[in-house]
């Protein structure tokens, strides 16, 4: 892990102090006690709780006041709110401020956010692969990013100083940083994250369509398969819409594989069913 001296930001504003935002704050405090962390969000009670717990130093319900003298802004709200937030805050950012995010969709969104930045303000997309199905500060922890992958997605206006500082920021928190094209990022995460979430939601809804009373008989297998259906519908609605094309492609491929198994079932093809299950088992065993 990198040392705390690599954090180049004295004043950090976290917009959206939930699981990820609060965990960033806790990790920052662990590695550099002198850093000042401010919060902004929709719920003043949540921000008060975060301040009382020492997660943030202060907060404001006025975004313009919150942005005063800030070195780094971290967007940690649902991705559908990013452009509105940036539009409202951009005139209040000082020259030299850097903006990043923790959203799991990049693609066209990072180019849009980049284009909204005033002269002297730099944006660079980030996606720490960490978190869970909880979304509140109660589950936040300072070691959340330790040994986690964090993908940085430079867009068209490359700025080496900004990149180096954002990379150092995440590495200091314990993450393993990788640079990736924004479009490739969305293709990958449609397959390994976004479609599994959609499928988990659909699987739970399918049980309700069969008989909701069967839920009380669900064992660990059903719980494991659908745990991510506990994730925030608001957050995942935005992800699904912003990564719509890649998500649809991934779901069409999933449907094709499901159709193959259904055809085997309809044909009483036990060999074919076993072949499909074995193919999946071998691939899944490669996942550490």
8 A C-beta contact, residue 34 and residue 156:
no
Q: Average pLDDT, stretch 171-199?
A: 97
Cα dihedral sign for 9, 10, 15, 20? Answer: positive
Between the CA of residue 31 and those of 24, 28, 103, 143, 253, what are the distances in Å?
A: 11, 5, 23, 11, 44
- Residue 88 and residue 19 share a domain: yes
- Residue 91 and residue 144 share a domain: yes
- Residue 160 and residue 217 share a domain: no
Burial bucket for residue 176 (CB in 10 Å: 0-12, 13-18, 19+): middle
Q: Where among 151, 180, 209 does a domain terminate?
A: 180
At residue 6, the pLDDT reads: 57
Q: Average pLDDT, stretch 249-262?
A: 98
At residue 206, the pLDDT reads: 98
8 A C-beta contact, residue 42 and residue 205:
no
Q: Residue 199 sits in a domain of what CATH number?
A: 1.10.3660.10
Q: What band does 136 get if pLDDT is binned at 50, 70 and 90?
A: confident
CA distance 178 to 169: 13
Q: Where among 155, 180, 205 does a domain terminate?
A: 180
Q: Nearest Cα to 15, choosing from 71, 69, 68, 78? A: 78
Residue 2 in this model has a pLDDT that exceeds 80: no
Q: What is the span of the domain harbouring residue 259?
A: 184-284
Degrees to nearest 5, angle at CA 11 with 89 and 121: 45
- Residue 172 and residue 37 share a domain: yes
- Residue 31 and residue 159 share a domain: yes
Q: What band does 7 get if pLDDT is binned at 50, 70 and 90?
A: low
- Residue 20 and residue 138 share a domain: yes
At residue 32, the pLDDT reads: 86
- Residue 58 and residue 39 share a domain: yes
Residue 221: CB atoms within 10 A of its CB come to 8
User: Coil, helix or strand for 11?
Assistant: strand
Q: Where among 153, 180, 207 does a domain terminate?
A: 180
Residue 182: CB atoms within 10 A of its CB come to 21
Q: CB within 8 A of 43, min separation 6: which ones?
A: none
Residue 246 in this model has a pLDDT that exceeds 70: yes
- Residue 192 and residue 52 share a domain: no
Residue 5 in this model has a pLDDT that exceeds 50: no
Q: What is the pLDDT of residues 73-99, one digit of tens each?
A: 999 999 999 999 999 999 999 999 999
- Residue 37 and residue 17 share a domain: yes
- Residue 252 and residue 175 share a domain: no
Q: Average pLDDT, stretch 21-39?
A: 94
- Strand pairing of 125-128 and 149-153? antiparallel
Per-residue DSSP letters for 230-266?
Answer: GS-HHHHHHHHHHTHHHHHHHHHHHHHHHHHHHHHHH
Q: Average pLDDT, stretch 159-168?
A: 93
Q: Percent of the chain beyond pLDDT 70? A: 98
Q: Average pLDDT, stretch 24-37?
A: 93
- Residue 77 and residue 199 share a domain: no
Average pLDDT of the chain is 95
Q: What is the pLDDT of residues 201-219, one digit of tens each?
A: 999 999 999 999 999 999 9
Q: Residue 39 sits in a domain of what CATH number?
A: 3.40.50.720
Residue 261 in this model has a pLDDT that exceeds 90: yes
Residue 33 in this model has a pLDDT that exceeds 90: no
Number of independent structural domains in the chain? 2
- Residue 214 and residue 100 share a domain: no
CA distance 266 to 258: 12
């Amino acid at each position: 892990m990198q040392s705390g001296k690599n954090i180049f930001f004295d004043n950090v504003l976290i917009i959206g102090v939930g699981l990820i935002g609060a965990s960033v704050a806790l990790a920052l405090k662990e590695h550099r006690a002198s850093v000042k962390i401010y919060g902004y969000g929709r719920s003043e009670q949540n921000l008060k709780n975060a301040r009382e717990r020492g997660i943030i130093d202060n907060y404001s319900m006025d975004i313009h006041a919150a942005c005063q003298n800030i070195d780094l802004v971290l967007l940690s709200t649902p991705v559908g709110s990013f452009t509105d937030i940036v539009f409202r805050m951009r005139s209040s950012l000082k020259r030299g401020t850097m903006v990043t995010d923790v959203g799991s969709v990049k693609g066209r969104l990072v180019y849009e956010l980049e284009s909204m930045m005033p002269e002297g303000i730099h944006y660079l997309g980030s996606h720490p692969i960490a978190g869970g199905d909880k979304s509140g500060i109660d589950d936040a922890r300072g070691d959340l990013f330790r040994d986690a992958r964090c993908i940085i997605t430079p867009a068209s206006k490359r700025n080496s100083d900004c990149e180096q500082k954002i990379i150092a920021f995440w590495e200091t928190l314990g993450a393993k940083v990788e640079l990736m094209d924004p479009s490739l990022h969305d293709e990958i995460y449609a397959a390994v994250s976004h479609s599994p979430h959609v499928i988990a939601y659909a699987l739970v809804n399918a049980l309700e369509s069969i008989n909701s009373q069967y839920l009380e008989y669900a064992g660990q297998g059903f719980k494991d398969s659908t745990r991510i259906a506990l994730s925030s519908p608001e957050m995942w609605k935005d992800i699904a819409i912003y990564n719509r094309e890649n998500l649809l492609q991934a779901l069409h491929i999933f449907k094709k594989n499901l159709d193959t198994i259904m055809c085997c079932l309809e044909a009483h093809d036990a060999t074919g069913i076993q072949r499909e299950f074995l193919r999946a088992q071998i691939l899944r065993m490669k996942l550490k």
